[in-house]
Homo-oligomer: A and B are copies of this chain.
Amino acid sequence: MLKRSALEGRESAFSMYNARMQENTAIQDNSSVGIVAPKTAHFNQPLTLSSGQILPQFHLVYETYGKLNADKSNAVLICHALSGNHHVAGKYSAEDKHPGWWDNMIGPGKPLDTNKFFVIGLNNLGGCHGSSGPLTTNPSTDRPWGASFPIVTVEDWVNSQACLLDHLGIQSLAAVVGGSLGGMQALQWTIAHPQRVRNALVIASAPNLTAQNIAFNEVARQAIITDPEFHNGEYYNHGVLPRRGLRIARMLGHITYLSDDAMGAKFGRKLRGEEYQYSFDVEFEMESYLRYQGDKFAGEFDANTYLRMTRALDYFDPAKQAGGDLSAALAHVTADFLVVSFTSDWRFSPARSKEIVKALLDNELSVSYAEVTAAHGHDAFLMPDPHYHNIVRSYLNKVKV
């Protein structure tokens, strides 16, 4: 099992931000959920996947913060994005320097206030942080699943998350919350289990991928798959890892997470040295950042999981079953919504969020929509922007539990 704080690496390069966040942590220690530990839920029941394949049994690793109230009405599920996991908030020890990936959002007094809500984070099926996936054992062979682990979809994740709620004895979620691919899961929750979710917070997300989004995913996957050390996904058996491919995939990902302007402000054309060296080594700070992020990720994340996460993104398209009509696809939705987009997010632009908003309004649902002015591109959803955080806080303050 690989361990990492899913997004801290990306944020750490934004040293200014990181410093501010750590200052926050230091000053407002009482705003942390504190020391946490992951748990594992085992499901000895078959799960039929979108592909038609059946997982005979599975397990999910999860964490919880706050307390479930007596009538179990205050549960909030956090759905993670491509490289996220169950470690959403808190630390694993007093010395742990890397809190969960959305620690700035979740805790006592934070926008998602654990004094009010019982928060659940999990690692999705197919992940590489402990839940059933390529790195875990296939019970029918007693060997790691590897490349034979099924391709899973957003729909499959949501159904497995419903099993986790059953396991926890929770009938209805006060809210399901997610950014990016996590927002797709939040939306899917309201479609697949309308009676079990009262509010959905769909942040920096989209109702499906554009051709350009698909194209970026395809380049990333091809970098991995054509890495000679990928071995058709059975690299574990060869004692190697397709690091080169995963590194390229992650470098490319980072370009799409940040806005052109954010990159310009942070790196611009700054050189590593005094003058051009006329070589293919690092010349620009931008290059150094990308290489660092790529190297780091390639040593921590699993390539088979990366392939599956990007494919789940590609496949998500709730309107597909309704002949392309998203409004029709949302006809049975009953949840209230907060939809948030960020002006500089070119991966999932505000226009994509507005497609969701329009379809919800077509169904006369209650929708709050905010387009936050933010420089950080898609990554803005992870940043502690006060305006953004206040929007989430205000919305959740009104949620009854």
Contact = CB atoms under 8 A, between A and B. Distances in A.
Interface in A206-237: 208-212, 214-216, 218-219, 221-223, 225-228
Contact of A151 (B214, B244, B266, B279): B279
Interface string A275-296: 0101110011011001100100
B278 A211 contact: no
Interface residues of A, number: 54
Contacts of A379: none
Given A210-B263, A214-B287, A225-B280, 4 more contacts: A52-B278, A214-B284, A222-B291, A223-B223
Nearest to A216: B255
Contacts of A216: 255
Nearest to A233: B280
Nearest to A252: B219
Interface in A249-289: 251-252, 254-255, 258, 260, 263-264, 266-269, 276, 278-280, 283-284, 286-287
Contacts of A228: 228, 244
Interface stretch (A19-27, A80-88, A166-174, A311-319): A311-319
Interface string A386-397: 000000000000
Contacts of A294: 222
Given A283-B314, A286-B218, A255 B212 contact: yes
A30 interface: no
A280 B215 contact: no
Contacts of A222: 247-248, 251, 290-291, 294
Number of copies: 2
B280 A214 contact: no
A269 B214 CA distance: 8
Given A211-B264, A211-B266, A269-B317, A278 B248 contact: no
Nearest to A147: B280
A326 interface: no
B219 A248 contact: yes
A228 to B, nearest CB: 6
Contact of A307 (B53, B211, B280): B280
A141 interface: no
20 contacts: A50-B278, A150-B278, A210-B260, A211-B260, A211-B266, A211-B267, A211-B284, A214-B287, A215-B251, A215-B263, A216-B255, A218-B284, A218-B290, A218-B291, A219-B255, A219-B290, A222-B251, A226-B247, A226-B248, A228-B228
